[in-house]
Chains A and B, each alone.
Chain A
Amino acid sequence: MIENIEKDIIAIISEVSGYEPEEITPETDFFKDLEVDSIKAIEITVAIEKKFKISVRDEDVPKIATVKQAVDLISNLLENKKI
């Protein structure tokens, strides 16, 4: 499950940033390493919301800075959705 989320996140980050999936690791910092700016941060969030059918809070947008952080946030939101 988590591995699938990770794969989907990497695909999204690759599309938005232009970097190849193999260049993106769970710890890659989107802002520092992939030159993701504020509009791309929003674009990543919009793509995540669409893909996983979840709603990310505005204040969490800047917190999605690595694949690992994205996976944790999405897992939590999906878990809460079940309840």
Chain B
Amino acid sequence: MEKPDKDAYDAIIIGAGMSGLVCGCYLAKAGLKVLMAEQHHKPGGYCTSFRRGRFTFDAAAHSFGGYAHGNLGKIFKDLGIDNKINIKQHDPSNVITSPDHTVSFWADIDKTIDVFQSVFPKDADNIKRFFNFLTEPDSMSFARIRSWTFKDLLDKYFTNDRIQAMLSFPLYGNGALPPSRMSAFIGARIFKEFLLDGGYHPAGGMQVLSDALAAIFKEAGGDLRLSTAVKKITTKNSEVSGVVLEKGGFVPSLYVISNSDARRTFLTLLGKNNVEQDLKDRMARMVPSLSTFIVYLGVDQAATTLPVSGVNYWYLSQYDLSTAYLSAKKGDFRDMGRYLVHVSPDRSTVIAFMNAPYGSKRYWETNRIVLSDRLIKAVEANTIPGLSKYIVYKETATPRTLQRYTLNHAGSAYGWESTPFQLADPDFRKPSFIRGLYLTGHWTTHGLGIPGVAYVGYDTARMVLRKKTHNCQKMLN
């Protein structure tokens, strides 16, 4: 090991998304010298908010789960987030409506089970067994279904297509996959975190959460640089040596942790010549998740028809999610009836989401306004009567907008598709051919959504700290 440069950082984190922020906080709190470089002018990645006049909009992520009973609660407690911000749970967290049924997910799981049993009385026992499996305390139970799809899991409990679709639809929204493609492992985790312990929102908007993590990082001595893009990850003898910033040149570091897009990390930042052919071949075959089309609406205070705020309202026009997925992938929006709508806790804004393909620049120039109008009409018809007359401000984000702000490949909303084939790939966590490089966040194939990526961030920090402690001891001996 070479003598460390006194100006060198212990770790440089590329990207201040949720995973990078959590990882940075743990490393800085452990006393490491850490630089976090974020290309955008605010921290958070998909967990940011923006202001337009009196309206504050959550840009993408707008609620989270896994806080009371999951890993996120432990992480936020470790980092002291609870002392800084006010997190509220909205109950119910999710309401799913189809032309035939409405079901709600409540903080009290028995209440949720009752709701499902009353809507699908013939499946009462199966519903109970399914929820029991999801809440099983044996942490290895999900590992036993690692090659299953979520459809395989549902088939074990249900033959009714409708109940299968109602249980899968929030995963279609939170992972952009139909049950026939979604990994059962990831699906079960999202279910447990988001549906059985969901509906959390920080007072003031999601930016408050990212800003609080950024503040904790800085208080612990971390160096956060916003509007700072990384151009290259540099290496020496198959080991990282630092990064080159777009403006500012070379910065040496022992470890580099990328919270950026995986393709960008390997092909652009590390450079094609430094990546194993096998990984390049695999990446060429791998499928990124779909993106999202978002409509942000500022609404009049007189809007009396708004549903309960802070709740995720899902609308499902028909039960075949595989076809829905293929239509979204092709950009075929003849059926607008598959969306999520969310009223902000302050009841001043409404956000509507639907899965969408990357699409060409021309596609979105042509379709942006039309789709936005049609989505508003669909929400008005099925969820919020009279919505259009309350709109006082309107803005949209296309997959290209998401890509521009976050550099996620093709504006992908959830990293690589969470299929069983793309699960827990070691090279997207800590590539074997280059020492000192770690990936963190939703491109690792290890988790998605706020609880998922926060946990990966925590775990990345643990891995780095184990290495670092060991190397320090070796130098002292």
Contacts and interface: CB of A to CB of B under 8 A. Distances in A.
A43 B463 contact: no
Interface string B443-477: 00011000000000001001111110010000000
B155 interface: no
B139 A38 contact: yes
Nearest to A18: B463
B140 A18 contact: no
A23 B148 CA distance: 34
Interface of B: 139-140, 142-148, 185, 423-426, 429-430, 432, 446-447, 459, 462-467, 470
B144 A62 contact: yes
B147 A58 contact: yes
A18 B195 CA distance: 32
Contacts of A16: 426, 429-430
A11 B316 CA distance: 48
Contacts of B464: 18
Contacts of A46: 423-426
A46 to B, nearest CB: 5
Classify chain A: how many residues form its interface, as a range. Answer: 20 to 34
Interface in A1-33: 12, 15-20, 23, 31
Contact of A43 (B145, B426, B432, B465): B426
A42 B424 contact: yes
A47 B351 CA distance: 41
Chain A contact residues: over half helix, strand or loop, or mixed?
Answer: helix
Contacts of A17: 463, 466
A39 interface: yes
Interface of A: 12, 15-20, 23, 31, 35, 37-43, 45-47, 50, 58-59, 61-62
19 contacts: A17-B463, A18-B465, A18-B466, A19-B466, A23-B470, A31-B140, A38-B140, A38-B142, A39-B185, A39-B424, A39-B447, A42-B143, A42-B146, A42-B185, A43-B426, A45-B424, A46-B423, A61-B144, A61-B146
A37 B463 contact: no
A61 B143 contact: yes
Nearest to A60: B144
A37 to B, nearest CB: 6
A33 B425 CA distance: 22
Contacts of A47: 426
Nearest to B452: A39
A67 B447 CA distance: 26
Contacts of B144: 58-59, 61-62
B430 to A, nearest CB: 6
A-B complex: 7 closest residue pairs judged by Cβ atoms? A18-B463, A18-B466, A62-B140, A42-B424, A43-B424, A38-B143, A61-B143
A83 B465 CA distance: 44
A47 B430 CA distance: 12
A45 B423 CA distance: 11
A43 B462 contact: no
Given A18-B465, A38-B143, A43-B426, 10 more contacts: A16-B430, A18-B463, A20-B470, A38-B140, A39-B424, A42-B146, A46-B423, A47-B426, A58-B148, A62-B144
Contact of B140 (A19, A23, A41, A43): A41
B401 to A, nearest CB: 31
Contacts of B429: 16, 43
Nearest to A48: B426
